[in-house]
Structure 1
Amino acid sequence: MARWRIWRPRSRAVPFLSLLLLAPLVFTGLKAVNKIGLSSERNYSRGHVTFVTVFTTYNSDPAEASKLPSNVVTVGKHSYSKVGRSMAILNTFIGFIQVSMPRSNVIILTDPNSKLTHGSAVILPIEGNYSRGNLMLQRIRSYIAFLEQRLEELETVEDINHLIFTDSDIAVVTDLGHIFEMYPHCHLALTFRNNKGQPLNSGFVAVRGTRDGIFKAIEFFKEVLEAYHLKYMEASRMLGDQLALAWVVKSYLPSAFSKFSKHEAFTVYNWTPPEGAGQFHGMPLDVK
């Protein structure tokens, strides 16, 4: 059973933003998924869907990823340099999208000083501070810069291209375009999760690709950035973006969080294996 909520906040800076909150799961049990089928090639969204992620290699050359220096990381039966491991995760992220949503593109926002190249994704350098301690803050800035560029492009070309901003270490296992089809009045979608401190996950944000949707998403991210600076800079290395995100949403929708506190089953958009890294034993059947 799927349950969603769409709200139109009584807005301050983001007039009439329609926010879709995609609930997490509370399951009593798990059923292992034995295989993930190929996409049916349906395009639910009446428009293209592009995935956007932020990724950088920290002054290391990805071309050197296959070489194994003394500083190696072992994952299962495979050994990688640290850059090689990051690139393997990025390749897996893109590979899942190519299987589950083969008509979608992937855009990687990165440091202009990065030597990143990729044959299956568009690399888009955006100026900023991509240091480890500033990366979550920079991610919001990169999103805003990208959306502003996209908004300018729409002044000359009417091209509905919906956007899904994600972490680069996720696996998309089914077509997500139905979000935009089923909820035509939604401008921006976020995922809930069962965490009182960080009830919203910044690793998945869907934005409708219309002028209106993109404009309101820019204003929304600007408010999150402002809250980040004013309230959560002590958590700038990790979690600060999620704390700021929750603060902004709560400021508009104070009752929203309590609506998802009931122990009911939902279609699962955002799921993490409870067993921990390297201990994966299957996932719920309706994870997306």
Structure 2
Amino acid sequence: MVDDGLAWLSATELVRAYAGGDLSPVEVHRAVQRRIAELEPTVNAFWQRDAVESERAAQQSEARWRAGEPLGPIDGVPITLKENVARAGVPMPAGNAGVTPVVPDRNAPITDRVLESGAVVLGSTVMPDWGMLSSGVSSLHGITRSPLDPRLTTGGSSSGAGAAAAGGFGPLHVGTDIGGSIRLPGTWLGLATLKPSDGRVPIDVPYLGRVAGPMARTVDDLALLMSVIAQPDPRDWASLPPAEIDWDTSGFEPRSVRVGLLLDAGCGMPVDPEVRAVVERAAGALGDAGAEVVPSNRG
């Protein structure tokens, strides 16, 4: 398999390959780093990254897999974290050039969960100022561009995470969302994303209304990452009680769901006809598969 192909494998594919001895976390990490080196000068997804440290983490994961002792379900899988997800010692400027960044002295719960599971953290991804812009433009970081078309931005505020996912910078990425900061890059970049229920993924410091969630290229990878980060943590007093959730996606049956179809939000600019057509085709595909599609009273 060519190196570029390794960078595009899903997390579920990587874990199966590691378990079978067909791939090493080290060769995957190096393929991803080559992909980053190729695109990052244009894409601008990262705020902080340390390829030497992540290489060391990949080597440690390789040793664990060889010994048959992985730490968890994403051991050896490359992952990025949005810059407002604390990593001890890594400044958190929130995309703003006019502040002295807070330097956390401890990890956020999400960071601890992914490290405890053996993931290879590639670095922290950028965001626009305070997470308040949906464009992927930051006074500190500049413009984060779409790997699909560098003339375009990624959407925000999880702009760097979206660019990393769409650009092949590993399969797993963590963003945060209040009013669309995971979902906007997801739709702009053709990703699989999830804004979990408030409190399902503990964050630190608790921030009512903000949630953290997975961004990836496959739904299976979203489920895999949720199984790791949706664990209780006492640092978030707003988190939900522990719950036994089956994150398996293999049994999904479209005939069992109702799908809301909203073609016009009723405010803002008119809906682009191409966008409307794509949404209608998606709704039609779900309906053909047996889902109950319920149009809204708008549009």
| TM-score (structure 2 length as normaliser) | 0.27
Q: Tell which has more relative contact order, 1 or 2 (C-alpha 8 A, sep 6+).
A: 1
Q: Which has the higher helix share?
A: 2
